[in-house]
């Protein structure tokens, strides 16, 4: 796998090495050993999958300590605009985001470390999205930031009248209303 740094340290793209011939293709989508050696010393404990239709925006979600989660995400069918937002107070990139298009064709994966909010928008008629998480889902620790917070300036590539949200995702606070979420100087992997 090729590891590609983004504009925010710790948020990385993983590009698989594709082996193809007349029969089709093969690639290793995940190796715990290689991931720990090259990206982050964490262990994934839960895999999730969602299917969503065009215009659905999910996010911007996170889990607070002691159940903070890293995520490794990819699209197995369709196309999404995937976003990671730095919500670590004191970080030089606090409030900034990384956005990347993940598709079944490019097979890219995005690693979102602890201390980041995550969300995505579906750009294809439907998309199947997979998440590897390094902490179990803990509803008492879940949090979120408004997907359309103007201070974040995320360029969602959807017409506003086509955005589909859950009731829950319609009511998240702005980042400025959240108080202290994560601290840049705390090692959430210790």
Catalytic center residues: 61, 131
- Calculate ∠ Cα 97-101-104, nearest 5°: 145
Distance between CA atoms of residues 139 and 134, nearest Å: 15
Q: Which of 94, 120, 80 has the alpha carbon at shortest distance from 8?
A: 94
Distance between CA atoms of residues 67 and 45, nearest Å: 12
Instruction: Yes or no: say if 37 and 45 are a contact pair by the CB < 8 Å rule.
Output: no
Instruction: State residue 12 phi and psi, 5-degree precision.
Output: -130, 155
Distance between CA atoms of residues 84 and 114, nearest Å: 10
């Amino acid at each position: 796998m090729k590891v590609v740094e983004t504009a925010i340290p710790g948020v990385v793209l993983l590009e698989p090495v594709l082996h193809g011939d007349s029969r089709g293709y093969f690639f290793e989508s995940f190796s715990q050993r290689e991931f720990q050696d090259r990206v982050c010393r964490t262990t994934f404990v839960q895999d999730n999958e969602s299917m969503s239709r065009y215009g659905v925006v999910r996010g911007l979600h996170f889990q607070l300590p002691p159940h903070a989660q890293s995520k490794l995400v990819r699209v197995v069918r369709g196309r999404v605009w995937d976003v990671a937002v730095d919500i670590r107070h004191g970080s030089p990139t606090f409030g900034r985001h990384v956005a990347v298009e993940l598709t079944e064709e490019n097979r890219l994966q995005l690693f979102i470390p602890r201390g980041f909010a995550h969300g995505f928008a579906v750009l294809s008629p439907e998309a199947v999205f997979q998440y590897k998480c390094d902490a179990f889902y803990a509803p008492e620790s879940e949090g979120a930031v408004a997907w359309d917070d103007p201070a974040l300036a995320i360029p969602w590539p959807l017409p506003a009248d086509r955005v589909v949200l859950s009731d829950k995702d319609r009511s998240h606070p702005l980042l400025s209303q959240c108080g202290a979420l994560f601290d840049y100087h705390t090692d959430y992997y210790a």
